[in-house]
Structure 1
Amino acid sequence: FSFRGLVTQPLPTGAWTLCCLAAALVTKTLSFGTAMAAMCNETIWLIVISFFFAKGFEKTGLGERIADIFVAFLGSTTIGLAYGLTVAEALLAPAMPSTTARAGGIFAPVVGFLSKSVGSTPLKDRRKLGAFLTHCCLHTSALSSTLFLTGAAQNLLCVSIAQQLGVQINDTFVLWFKGAVVPSVLSLIMIPAMMYVLVPPELKKTPEAPALAREKLREKGPPSRDEWIVLVTLAGAVVLWVLGEKLNVAPVVAALLALVTLLVTGVLTWRDCLMHQSAWDTLVWFSIVVSMSAAVTQSGLTSFVAKLVGGALQKHKLGWQAAFGILHLAYFFAHYCFASQVGHVSALYGTFLVMMTMTGAPPVLAALTLAYSSNLLGSMTHYASGQAAVYYGSGYMSLPEVFSIGMIMNLRSLLTFGVIGMAWWKFIGWY
């Protein structure tokens, strides 16, 4: 019932999880302590603090400046413009854990500005430039979220569920990036080139774009003190995330140090943090979902369902590799029935992870590749994720395009991760 509501969303996610919490407490299904235990979860606080950190990018204008810099250097051709936005998205992903915020706060406005500057609007000549760039940004967002642990909220939810199920994932930030880097970067390189064929822009050269970007940069002036502080603080946080295990610094502590730096230097005020609705909303629903997921796991339901399906696969005497592939495809395409990546992960991730390990898949391989898939599927429909809704709402994509191109690009993602990814994971010793 709880997870069905996360899928159908009769209420906003935070409100629905509070309803579920109340129902669980009234029926004494869970005690208050059990239901709220995840409030102490380091992973959840890492997400919340990352939202505050992202506010620094938004408030100082550093995120938009980074996008403008890449447009200024690479934007003289349409495909160069797309690659510039792709690189900017990948660079911002580890610092902004909300793909919706990246889409709605930075990239959709930049694409709209560039497109309209050459006469490409949602109502007239959308295929001139806007459709091409919008499709590129949508599919790039799914890959940039896959590349970094802090690239999306559902990444940390996946890790939390996997750890509850007993999967030992050490040095999480580095391990995640190590597994994702090769297939993700190759996929990112492919996206603008494939879109150039699938949604060919009528405008091939965009000499105005670099000039417009440079003009915006001139208006902004040199990077401000606050922008430099955000940039240096981000670099320090990333270093601590990478070296944290060796230095005995937990990821959440590194994030907290970064936030404190922004508060002490005045880049952010406590009011900025208090007014960040998405962060507090995430703290509420995420902690309740994690607690309920843990309760479902402890009840034995996940293991029961996994044994039924896993047993059926074992009866057919499939090797773990074949079962691994079948389960990945089932998990991936089930997202056509979901309107939320978090809902998808909450409902299916734990069960599919148990089924994979039961059929012999190495636990770390199963846990992280399922988590990667949880990002890739965010671009398959206009309702697949928050960023998909933002880009579709811009008016530059038609519904048939979203579904047809989404299918093609997601099949390409599955092929890249299934072939090149498996070879890479073999090379780094995951199986």
Structure 2
Amino acid sequence: MALSKAHKLTILAVIPLMFFLFPTPDGLSLVAWHLFGIYLATIVGLVLKPYSEPVILLAAVALSAITIGNTEGASEFVKISHTLSGYQSGTTWLIFTAFTLSSAFVITGLGKRIAYHMIGWMGSTTLRLGYVTMFLDLLLAPATPSNTARAGGIIFPIINSVAVALGSDPETSPKKAGRYLLMNVYMVVKTTSYIFLTAMAPNALALSLMAPILGFELNWVQWFLAASVPGLLCLFLIPFVCYLIAPPEMKKVDNKGIARQGLAELGPMRFREKALAVLFVLALFAWIFAGFLHVNSTTIALTVMVLCIFLNIVSWDDILKNKAGWNTLIWYGGIIGMSTILTKAGFFTWLATTMSQNLQFGDHGNVALLIVLTLSIAVRYLFASGGAYVAAMVPVFATVGKVAGAPIELLALGLLFTNSYGGSVTHYGGGPGPITFGAGYNDIKSWWIAGAVVAFGSLLIHSTLGMLWWKFLLNMTWL
């Protein structure tokens, strides 16, 4: 039975109240204990969703500030201004500004145009259409931090239309082509989402939450280098794996006709599309050569956003209407601020010390690493939001792995990437899931089988080839 809003709010009120009433554990400050109660209630709120994420985080930030101001001795650990520190984070603004590029691909129609050209070039079979989806998603991923917008706003409408054009109906003939094509959309997007730092908003959040615990940072290029070898291998295997699990009855496709009709509906390429294509390429090169240019990734994204407005690719009204971008700015800035005040209050240091007294793997740090990464995927069956998973579990898994003796760099990289591909285990593990599954072509059994194969198969590749690659990068001091 679903909980009513009143019941959800009651649960959220009881959680911090318990922490205010119960005694503080030894070695932990009073303000840290109270703030953790608010943080825990916030995470539960992101799962229960009595209100949207921004509302929950704004309430948590406000309550945290009140708590700091009214707790004796709190100023020795943390200041009220620290609750808003997440909104000063360059990471928060990097993700927000990248949403402009994401919306521009939809508004101008450039995303669809690229897709139809790719279908015409190489989509002569259903398997090749699976690889068209893969290449299209990989191309768009660096500039679309909302994988829901990327999959749901650009790729899904096109692939769904292709399935219909091939005579595949959700009710009468789902296996003809639609079941394979739509399943593949989701499994692909959960892989492209970790290949680039800017391919999924929770990537930057996970990195920010992990940094104070593990002392590990990555820039845009380092992230791509680390993800490239295991990630691209997984990505190239996924369309074929899905093809084996949900084989389409139709093998040949009139891709030329589909592409011709789609491009005819779009009409000739306009200035806004051409300008966006140039800016997209320039942004990619700027992110790659940011060190040489002496600029950071956030500055590049802000510059591209301003140029998009000046060149009338998108208007300021378009940006104002981009609810996903503003929602992300508010709740990601809030959750980073919450993590910051917990760090400054000494909560994570206390947690690591406490765990180290009860969690010992001796010299078997690699065993601890594999157990933590496996658990990070298994627990995704319980989460319907990648952002909620990151906020709730990444600090915990990072702390557990650290005190258990797992190699810090391998632990950080492993957790950063399982954050995305771990969400493929279910049809509700990320925003694109309900969209693609909701088309009606797929059954839960085949979807979950494919998801388990993709998620745990990706873990196997990352734990073998991936770790060898990461050690090589570390030895070369490229990370």
- Decide whether the 8 Å contact of 1:78 with 1:201 is kept in 2: yes
Specify the alignment match of 1:401 in structure 2.
Answer: 446
* 33, 38, 42: which one aligns with 1:2: 42
Cα offset for 1:56? 1.3
Distance 2:317 2:342 in 1: 37
Distance 2:223 2:92 in 1: 17
Q: How does 1:161-240 map to 2 (within 5 A)?
A: 161-165=209-213, 167-170=215-218, 172-207=219-254, 209-240=255-286
Distance 1:417 1:310 in 2: 26
Deviations 1:92-137 (A, max 9, x none): 0011110100121011111210111122122121111111011111
Distance 2:259 2:273 in 1: 18
Residue 275, structure 1, aligned to residue 321, structure 2: yes
- Decide whether the 8 Å contact of 2:230 with 2:462 is kept in 1: yes
Specify the alignment match of 2:470 in structure 1.
Answer: 425
Residue 152, structure 1, aligned to residue 197, structure 2: no
Distance 1:383 1:44 in 2: 25
Larger-gyration structure (1/2): 2
* 353, 356, 375: which one aligns with 1:330: 375
Cα offset for 1:308? 4.1
- Decide whether the 8 Å contact of 1:74 with 1:210 is kept in 2: no
Residue 58, structure 1, aligned to residue 106, structure 2: yes
Deviations 1:323-377 (A, max 9, x none): 1111111122111121211111111112222332334444333222211110111
Q: How many residues align?
A: 428
Residue 72, structure 1, aligned to residue 120, structure 2: yes
- Decide whether the 8 Å contact of 2:377 with 2:455 is kept in 1: no
Q: How does 1:22-171 map to 2 (within 5 A)?
A: 22-28=62-68, 32-165=80-213, 167-170=215-218
Pair 1:294–1:131, CA change in 2 (3 A): same
Structure 1 runs, 4 residues or longer, greater than 6 Å off? none
Distance 1:287 1:220 in 2: 38
Cα offset for 1:392? 1.4
* 314, 339, 344: which one aligns with 2:384: 339
- Decide whether the 8 Å contact of 1:378 with 1:388 is kept in 2: no
- Decide whether the 8 Å contact of 2:390 with 2:419 is kept in 1: yes
Deviations 1:256-295 (A, max 9, x none): 1111111111111111111111111111111111111122
Distance 2:409 2:294 in 1: 22
Specify the alignment match of 2:51 in structure 1.
Answer: 11
Distance 1:149 1:24 in 2: 29
Distance 1:189 1:103 in 2: 18
Which sections of structure 2, spanning at least 5 residues, go unmatched?
1-40, 70-77
Pair 1:311–1:203, CA change in 2 (3 A): farther
Q: How does 1:290-369 map to 2 (within 5 A)?
A: 290-314=336-360, 316-369=361-414
Amino acid at match of 2:209: I
Distance 1:324 1:310 in 2: 15
Where 2:474 maps in the other structure, the secondary structure is coil
- Decide whether the 8 Å contact of 1:158 with 1:367 is kept in 2: no
Amino acid at match of 1:174: V
- Decide whether the 8 Å contact of 1:320 with 1:359 is kept in 2: yes
Distance 2:216 2:362 in 1: 28
- Decide whether the 8 Å contact of 1:167 with 1:367 is kept in 2: no
Cα offset for 1:163? 2.8
| Deviates further, 380-389 or 136-145 | 380-389
Distance 2:43 2:345 in 1: 16
Where 2:250 maps in the other structure, the secondary structure is coil
Distance 1:380 1:16 in 2: 27
Specify the alignment match of 1:259 in structure 2.
Answer: 305
Cα offset for 1:420? 1.4
Which sections of structure 1, spanning at least 5 residues, go unmatched?
none
Task: Give aligned-pair identity as a percent.
Answer: 32
Deviations 1:197-241 (A, max 9, x none): 10010111112x331112212333442211111111111111111
Deviations 1:280-327 (A, max 9, x none): 11111111111111222233333333344444442x424211111111
Where 1:382 maps in the other structure, the secondary structure is coil
With the length of structure 1 as denominator, give the TM-score of the two structures.
Answer: 0.94
Residue 372, structure 1, aligned to residue 417, structure 2: yes
Distance 1:140 1:83 in 2: 9
Deviations 1:148-180 (A, max 9, x none): 00000001101212333362425x101100010
